[in-house]
A and B are shown apart, each in its own frame.
Chain A
Amino acid sequence: MYVQLTSDALDAQRLVQAVRTDASGAVTLFYGVVRNHNEGRGVLYLEYDAYPELAEKQLRAVAEETLSRFAIDDIAIAHRIGRVEIGEASLLVAVASAHRADAFTACHAAVDRIKETVPIWKKEYWEGGGVWLDGTPVALAEQVGEPGA
């Protein structure tokens, strides 16, 4: 299990290598990439802020929760902070498992949990200025890694 919060460019192959085991028949890799549009606006770039101490803890909590919920071999998560350009990855999630169904499902679930519970925020910049995007309020039951509690 590996989690990383960094302002450096994310390394997808490193995550894939970190999760794959000889028992794994499937590795899924999710790239969350900065796109050039949002709600009809042209986007120039994003800036991510984070509460680093809690964000790392919460990324780890999501990884552990995903490992225990699904039949997977390993999971790795990397999230970037600071300025991220169009086409660059801000989030990577890699999951290895014996079979592809679990790898797909677990990866999807992990991405959703990250977006609901980790104290990271994105600010979108366009020609007219920048705005912190309206996010998901963190609910206490979800915070402690108990989905649907």
Chain B
Amino acid sequence: MRIHVRLFAALADGAGCRSFDLDLPPGARAEAVRLALVERFPRLAGLCGRSAFAVNAEYADADRLLAAGDEVALIPPVSGG
């Protein structure tokens, strides 16, 4: 199933892009997106490990079940304000 991944800040800089599409098997959970990102960009492993998930613009757990067409964002430690 196709998932749309969104990246921001240091993760986007590190990956060289702000979004990409990912094919995951049905039954995949949010954690699978982190694994895919780390596999593609191993030096982002530490930052990915400290990042939270958002699915369709709502915060979600790592074990959140994904559906085709979902937008998954990795949220690095925040620094607004």
Q: Which residues of A contact B (CB under 8 A)?
A: 32, 48-51, 53-55, 57, 79, 90-91, 111, 114-123, 132-140, 143-144
Contacts and interface: CB of A to CB of B under 8 A. Distances in A.
Nearest to A139: B52
Contact of A115 (B9, B58, B73, B81): B81
Interface of B: 6, 8-10, 12-13, 50-52, 54, 57-59, 61, 73, 75-81
A32 B79 CA distance: 12
A133 B9 CA distance: 10
Per DSSP, chain A at the interface is mixed
**7 pairs of A and B residues whose beta carbons are closest in the complex:** A120-B80, A135-B77, A135-B79, A121-B9, A143-B59, A132-B10, A53-B57
A43 to B, nearest CB: 14
Contacts, number: 92
B79 A134 contact: yes
A119 B10 CA distance: 13
Given A121-B9, A132-B13, A139-B52, 19 more contacts: A51-B57, A51-B73, A54-B59, A55-B80, A79-B80, A79-B81, A91-B81, A111-B81, A117-B78, A119-B8, A119-B54, A119-B78, A121-B10, A132-B9, A135-B76, A137-B50, A138-B59, A140-B52, A143-B59
Contact of B8 (A49, A90, A137, A143): A49
Nearest to B60: A140
B79 A51 contact: no
A49 B10 CA distance: 10
Contacts of B6: 51
Given A123-B9, A143-B59, A144-B59, A51 B77 contact: no
B79 A54 contact: no
Contact of B78 (A32, A116, A140): A116
12 contacts: A49-B8, A50-B8, A111-B81, A117-B78, A120-B80, A121-B10, A121-B76, A134-B77, A135-B78, A135-B79, A137-B52, A138-B78
